[in-house]
Amino acid sequence: MANERRDAAAIKRGGGRALIPLDGIESYDSASSIAATCSAPICFMIAAGPSLYSTGCSARLREESQGSANAPLLERLNILLSDEPDRPSQAEIAREFGMTENAVKQAFHRLRQRYRQLLREEVAHTVATPAEIEDELRHLIAALRS
C-alpha cells in the first residue's frame, strides 16, 4: 500500500513527464544558431529579445503576489530570477526578512516552479497544439544555450 501511495503521489507531482532544465536559459551567443533550431514564433521571440518571455512571466508573478503578505519577499526573490549583476544572495534575503536561509530557499524553489508554469503558458500561446509545447521549450532552451 505504501508503494502504491508513493507511486500515486509521484504521478500527481508530474511523474512520467520529461524534465526540461531551465537553468542558464538566459545565456545565448548568436541569432543564427537560434534560427536554425526553432520555429518561427519562438525565433521571433528570441530574436526580439530573450527577455520577452521572462518579462511577461516576471510581470505575471508580480501581479499574482500583489496584495499578499509575502509580496516584499516575492519581489526580492524575483530579482534572483533576473540576470542583474548585483543580485542579493539567498542568505542576504534571509537576513533582510528575518528568515532562515532554508525558508528562503524553499520560497525561491516555489517561485521558480510557478515561473516554469508561466513560461509554459507563454510558450503555449505561440504553438498550434498543446502537444507542441514540450518541443518548443526544448528548442528554446537549446537555442539559448548554443
* Phi, psi (rounded to 5 degrees) for 70: -95, 10
Task: Please say if the pLDDT value at position 35 is more than 60.
Answer: no
Task: Please say if the pLDDT value at position 4 is more than 90.
Answer: no
Question: Cα separation of 7 and 140, whole Å?
Answer: 31
Nearest in space to 60 (alpha carbons), one of 40, 42, 81: 81
Task: Give per-residue pLDDT as tens, 44-82.
Answer: 555 543 445 556 777 787 788 787 778 888 888 888 877
Domain residue extents for the chain: 24-126+133-145
Question: Cα separation of 146 and 142, whole Å?
Answer: 6
Q: State the cell numbers at 120.
A: 509554459
pTM: 0.58
How does the average pLDDT of the chain come out, rounded? 74
